Chain A
């Protein structure tokens, strides 16, 4: 398979998943600000939402004030923000368009439909759009694309690269979403606990569509330890870090089978997986969740680089 084709498939998946994450981040911010705070005002998570998406500098230079309408313009509609829903949907479609013949009609139509419908959405007066509506719409589009993909796509080499895009991106996103909460609001472990905090953790779980699964797994109690365990080390939860890395490693092994040799990326994924498998949640919390997550985001990015290098992505 041409490296460019593999690369386009990989990035189509990454951008769709990123659009989904941006929607989930916005949802957290939106719910947080509905919550009364002790000083009589309302909470604001917008700063941490922007921080988590890794675009704080761009936002500050372009908009300055952390007001809801600015955040929506920036995170939903702004083409200058590479993580905005608009940018992600456009990039996903452009990548897919370049390799249309490698995708089934269903997958292409789902991607194209999302792109076209967003254009309609953009023309709708903002006063008629609510943020939850936009978030729900985005999550649905991403689900439709993924559904069409797993329902119709031949499980060949291209399938592996597409799936790999999803898992690498999702691991990054879960780590960042988790970091929003911990990094900004709970710099030390001693401060964990209390009603407000529980509510915010719930928010996080809801945004990851993991609210009920958490209860099924751990019963009714929210403890930072259990939540961290769930999002990092639970092998059954499809957004946990260990789940994503396991999947990435599996896809890379499949590729090694297809190509008849293992490449460097496979080894990087295996060692990252090894680290996670040996991790103990108490140690992670003691070490500092933020430090742990930062390290993970870097290792995961390293995996991305290694994939690009191993399969000759990008111009030589």
Chain B
């Protein structure tokens, strides 16, 4: 066993408390049965059509994300601490967003350089001074976490726009309950299936003031060719609301309506799964066919709530990320419960020099990138790859940040040879509306290749069910 990495199940030969309930199950289940269950799981996934589109890969335009049957487990003590940390972060990020579109206290106090905000592509001047319902900008905050020790958790990044993957959290649980009902009888696993209801409640709680009556909610998707379309339709279905495309909506006067067979119906809250740039061709990209002309005017005059609010993306930028601990202190007057990964900003000369000297030990990311595309993992790269990447950094240092390669924890995972440790991360989904809510679970992503630290599904990562076990 590789001792550089924290193994979540075993401490030497001892099984840690979180995984105690799984040892009997593993011992008593013959391998053939597991193989058979695995085939069963794959059939179910294919049949319900949970596939994942990978951009830039024509052959595999629809493929399955590998699902690992071995769950990833937290005790509820561990979870409570994570929960407090994630909620704290979600509150601070929303306070920050309200601030930078209003009084900009944090910039005036000299805690954060104004350029990082004003020159940020995701900063949206058209919503300065506009207050969304309950002053909430980011209604679903996905916080990506990694673990390096029993009590060591680091936040890798925040996702304040439209974090995806929550359908996997729900479907993975569904499949596990179908395949191994006994496990759920013998372990007290906190349920996750209230997430769609909680999301609906959150969205309903931020209906605009002009809405008199039960708020009409709709999920706005770019359409069937989007990689997360399955999730969009799944959530709409589970919440019992309409799944709409831009062409289904239109603006008339002060409100937004959807075209229905009964005539136009007013929409109060739009849970959009589409970027700012595409929501309104009159305000943003004129060439966008996905958006609704005039939507931003309705939003600005309080006729509709857009979730996440336009302009929320500035808070999850990788350059802003480094200031989140300061935000927590500044807005909440609390000490951060979850740590940031130490980060070098290549925009700063001293940091840049350090990064260029140590590329082979670092992970370098594009400030605006996502999904593991276009990043450099120093220890896993060839000399040539490192040199090529160095040229890119020098060309535009402000576009990059660097972090040490973390000793990501491992969780036992079924591979061809049996159970073996593989690196994992975690994305819980925090809902922010009238209340701040965190479902006890999340999406655990696992790097299926031995030794790999990249868990992104676009790079061959898999997923696991994530358990919080009641004490």
Is A191 on the interface with B (CB-CB < 8 A)? no
Interface pick from A97-105, A225-233, A276-284: A97-105
Interface extent on A, as a size class? 10 to 19
Interface pick from A2-10, A44-52, A121-129, A202-210: A2-10
Q: Is B261 in contact with A6, judged by CB distance below 8 angstroms?
A: yes
Q: Is A2 in contact with B224, judged by CB distance below 8 angstroms?
A: no
CB distance from B61 to the nearest CB of A (A): 13
Q: Is B250 in contact with A316, judged by CB distance below 8 angstroms?
A: yes
Q: Is B233 in contact with A315, judged by CB distance below 8 angstroms?
A: no
Residues of B within 8 A of A98 (CB): 223-224
Which residues of chain A from 259 to 316 have any CB-CB distance to chain B below 8 Å in the complex?
259, 311-312, 315-316
CB distance from A107 to the nearest CB of B (A): 14
* Cβ-closest chain A residue relative to B49: A100
| Dominant SS among interface residues on chain A | helix
A2-B242, A3-B248, A4-B245 known; A312 vs B259 contact (CB < 8 Å): yes
CB distance from A117 to the nearest CB of B (A): 18
Residues of A within 8 A of B243 (CB): 101
Question: How far, in whole Å, are A6 and B49 apart by their CA atoms in the complex?
Answer: 22
Interface membership of chain A positions 62-87, coded 1 if the CB is closer than 8 angstroms to chain B and 0 otherwise: 00000000000000000000000000
Question: How far, in whole Å, are A3 and B245 apart by their CA atoms in the complex?
Answer: 11
Q: Is B261 in contact with A3, judged by CB distance below 8 angstroms?
A: yes
Is B185 on the interface with A (CB-CB < 8 A)? no
Residues of A within 8 A of B242 (CB): 2
Residues of A within 8 A of B260 (CB): 1-3, 312
Q: Is B261 in contact with A316, judged by CB distance below 8 angstroms?
A: no
* Cβ-closest chain B residue relative to A311: B261
Is A157 on the interface with B (CB-CB < 8 A)? yes
CB distance from B225 to the nearest CB of A (A): 10
| Dominant SS among interface residues on chain B | mixed
A4-B245, A4-B247, A97-B224 known; A316 vs B233 contact (CB < 8 Å): no
Which residues of chain B from 180 to 231 have any CB-CB distance to chain A below 8 Å in the complex?
223-224
Interface membership of chain B positions 377-418, coded 1 if the CB is closer than 8 angstroms to chain A and 0 otherwise: 000000000000000000000000000000000000000000
Q: Is B261 in contact with A259, judged by CB distance below 8 angstroms?
A: yes
Interface membership of chain B positions 239-272, coded 1 if the CB is closer than 8 angstroms to chain A and 0 otherwise: 0001111011010000000111111100000000
Question: How far, in whole Å, are A97 and B258 apart by their CA atoms in the complex?
Answer: 21
Is A255 on the interface with B (CB-CB < 8 A)? yes
Question: How far, in whole Å, are A150 and B424 apart by their CA atoms in the complex?
Answer: 47
Q: How many chain B residues touch the partner (CB < 8 A)?
A: 20
Is B237 on the interface with A (CB-CB < 8 A)? yes
Residues of B within 8 A of A255 (CB): 261
Question: How far, in whole Å, are A157 and B261 apart by their CA atoms in the complex?
Answer: 9
Question: How far, in whole Å, are A88 and B460 apart by their CA atoms in the complex?
Answer: 36
Question: How far, in whole Å, are A100 and B243 apart by their CA atoms in the complex?
Answer: 12
Residues of B within 8 A of A101 (CB): 233, 237, 243
Q: Is B258 in contact with A2, judged by CB distance below 8 angstroms?
A: yes
Question: How far, in whole Å, are A316 and B257 apart by their CA atoms in the complex?
Answer: 11
* Cβ-closest chain A residue relative to B223: A98
Q: Is B224 in contact with A4, judged by CB distance below 8 angstroms?
A: no
A97-B224, A98-B224 known; A3 vs B233 contact (CB < 8 Å): no
* Cβ-closest chain A residue relative to B246: A315
Q: Is B250 in contact with A1, judged by CB distance below 8 angstroms?
A: no
Residues of B within 8 A of A4 (CB): 244-245, 247-248, 259
Which residues of chain A from 1 to 58 have any CB-CB distance to chain B below 8 Å in the complex?
1-4, 6
Q: Is A316 in contact with B259, judged by CB distance below 8 angstroms?
A: yes
Question: How far, in whole Å, are A312 and B243 apart by their CA atoms in the complex?
Answer: 17
Question: How far, in whole Å, are A311 and B260 apart by their CA atoms in the complex?
Answer: 7
Residues of A within 8 A of B224 (CB): 97-98
Question: How far, in whole Å, are A312 and B259 apart by their CA atoms in the complex?
Answer: 6
A4-B245, A4-B248, A315-B247 known; A100 vs B233 contact (CB < 8 Å): yes
Question: How far, in whole Å, are A311 and B243 apart by their CA atoms in the complex?
Answer: 18
Residues of B within 8 A of A259 (CB): 261-262
Interface membership of chain B positions 33-60, coded 1 if the CB is closer than 8 angstroms to chain A and 0 otherwise: 0000000000000010100000000000
A4-B248, A98-B224 known; A312 vs B261 contact (CB < 8 Å): yes
Q: Which among A3, A97, A100, A105 is the interface contact of B259 at CB below 8 angstroms?
A: A3
A positions within 8 Å CB-CB of B: 1-4, 6, 97-98, 100-101, 105, 157, 161, 255, 259, 311-312, 315-316
- A-B contacts, 30 of them at CB < 8 A, read A1-B260, A1-B262, A2-B242, A2-B248, A2-B258, A2-B259, A2-B260, A2-B261, A3-B248, A3-B259, A3-B260, A3-B261, A4-B244, A4-B245, A4-B248, A4-B259, A97-B224, A98-B223, A98-B224, A101-B233, A101-B237, A101-B243, A255-B261, A259-B262, A312-B259, A312-B260, A312-B263, A312-B264, A315-B247, A316-B259
B positions within 8 Å CB-CB of A: 47, 49, 223-224, 233, 237, 242-245, 247-248, 250, 258-264
A sample of 20 more A-B contacts (CB under 8 A), given A1-B261, A101-B233, A259-B262, is A1-B262, A2-B242, A2-B244, A2-B261, A3-B248, A3-B260, A4-B244, A4-B245, A4-B259, A6-B261, A98-B223, A98-B224, A105-B47, A161-B261, A255-B261, A311-B261, A312-B259, A312-B260, A312-B261, A315-B247
Q: Which 8 A-B pairs have the closest CB atoms?
A: A3-B259, A312-B259, A311-B261, A1-B261, A6-B261, A4-B248, A316-B250, A259-B262
